[in-house]
Each structure stands twice: as structure tokens, then as C-alpha cells.
Structure 1
Amino acid sequence: MVLDFGFLKTEMMGEIDACCDHGMMIWVDDPWIASFLPFTSREASAEVMQQYRAEVRETGQKLIEGPFGKTLLLSQVPTAENLAKHWFRRLAPRVRLRSGNRADLLSVVVWETPNCMATYHAPDLGRSRPGLSPRHSHSEKFPNEIGGIAGEGGNLGSHERSTFSQRF
């Protein structure tokens, strides 16, 4: 059986690009957050921030339109390591759903500079999908990728998996 990974770009664009392209990411508890958001008074600021924090605790993020454009409030400081984990947790269920449970997201790689990256690997790979290995999570040919996927391949044996990487 062959699996088309065309859905991956759609999911990445919706989950990452739509929220972050030409936008700002900030920790919901950052002490300077009020300066970046459209509040009219301290009272409004405290009340709205309480609502924002509750939503971020529940969903992991909150996208708002502020005076500087898109602002993504996150549950953690937006380091490359935290973003890799955050995006992995948001994309992994979508990959399973969109592939009909035939593929797993293996990792998310976030490059913060040309020489510095953070990778978040799927936990418990061996138990959840026999035959998967973190070493196949990204392609050396395309170092700027944003993840790896393993899916059941067409002519592969029952314990073998194909891998797919998408550059971003």
C-alpha cells in the first residue's frame, strides 16, 4: 500500500505558518506581555490575561491579533527546544488521523540558526510502532526539514517502515 504524505504540508501550514509567519511568539507569563497586547486599562489587562492563561493551559497556545500583528501566546518560553516539542504534540495526532493510523510523526526539527537546531523525537517509538528508529527521523540531504514521518510502505515487510521528511 502506498501512502500520500501531501497532507503534511497542509497540516504544517495550518499549525505553524498560519500562527507564526510574520507574527510573534511569547510565553503567556512573560513579564512584558502587556506591552505587546491591546489593553486599555490595567483591570482589563488582568482580566483578559487570566482568560488567556486558562486557554493556554488547556490548549497549549492562544493566537491573538495585537497591535504588532499576530501574537501566539505559548505555555512555555518559545525556545527552539520547546517549539519542537510543542509542534510535535500538535502535529502527531493530525498525522495519525490524516494517514488513517498508517503513519506516525517521528520527530520535529527546529533550526534557530544555520548551525543550531533542536529535535524532539517521538517518545516510546519502539513500543508503539515496531521497527521505527529515531535515527531515521531526518534526512542528511535536507538539513532544514521540520520533521520525519514513518508510514507503512507498499512493498515493505510487516516490520519495515518507510520514512518521509519535509523541508520547511
Structure 2
Amino acid sequence: ACKAGTKTAYSFGNESKELSNHSWHVGNSRFKYQKIGQKSPNPLGLYDMHGNVWEWVLDQFAPPPEVASKVLKVNPLVAPNTLYPRVVKGGSWDDGASSHRSAARMGSEEAWKQQDPQIPKSVWYHTDAIFVGFRVVRPREVPAIEDIEKFWPSEEDIKAIPQR
């Protein structure tokens, strides 16, 4: 979705000098995330695909594609089997141009929950990750229950996460 069919470093080309027209970054964000939709959209009409907040994606963090196995080229999804690290993409208001490239990604860390007051710590509450967000998406058609269950954890799976 971020690349929007492009083959360049950013959805708007290869030049980082254009970044401020498309992205909230460390040089223009006033050190906080901004309201969505104030910058130019990508070719698919999606806003804030570069910068503002890193976005959660489904994958387990794996080596960068250039060193990953050929299996990833067939199906790039690395199904998660541990809580950390998971993947966030796209850079944030607190990052420079290289973190805003379409291919930029980072692994999550347990420290992002350091100030969570709950015991045990929440699976979803990331008190120390004010630079991370998510994008709500939905399929055009409701998937089969078997496909939903591949990506949506059961209650037992959720309860088991703190022990992983």
C-alpha cells in the first residue's frame, strides 16, 4: 500500500528533499504526531504512509529482504510465533528521511510497554511507543472463518502471550 505500485525509495520518487510534502518527520513535526491527511497522499490516495507514526504490520521481524531466504520472495509474510519482535513500518515524526522509505521497517521491543501499570502487562498497551500507530483496513469481502483464524488470535493464544 505504501509503495502504491512504484519502484522508487518513496511513493513520490527517490528524492528525500520532497519528503516534507508527503511526511511528518523530525524536521517538521514539532516533535509530535500530527492530524492525518495534512500532507499529499500517495498514488493510491492513502495519507501518511510515510512518517507521522510507524504502523504495525502482521509480520514477525525477520532479516532484511536482501538477506532473507527465497521463501520470503514467494510469500513475504513471516507469520508471528513470538510476541517480540513484531514489525512496524513507515517511520515516524521522530525519524529522519531514511526511516521514511517505503521499505523501512523496525522490530518492536518489550521496552515499549515499560510504563504499563497493569500486571501482567497488556498485550496491546504500548505506553512508551508514542511514535507507533495503526491503520484500520478491511477486506472488500468477508473472508472465510479459516482465513480469519490464521491472523486473529484465540483467547487461549492471547492468555499465553505473557509466557512467551
Q: TM-score range by the shorter chain?
A: under 0.3
Larger strand percent: 1
| Higher fraction of helix | 1
What TM-score, normalized to structure 1?
Answer: 0.23
State the TM-score, normalized to the length of structure 2: 0.24
**If you compute each CA radius of gyration, which structure gives the higher value, 1 or 2?**
1
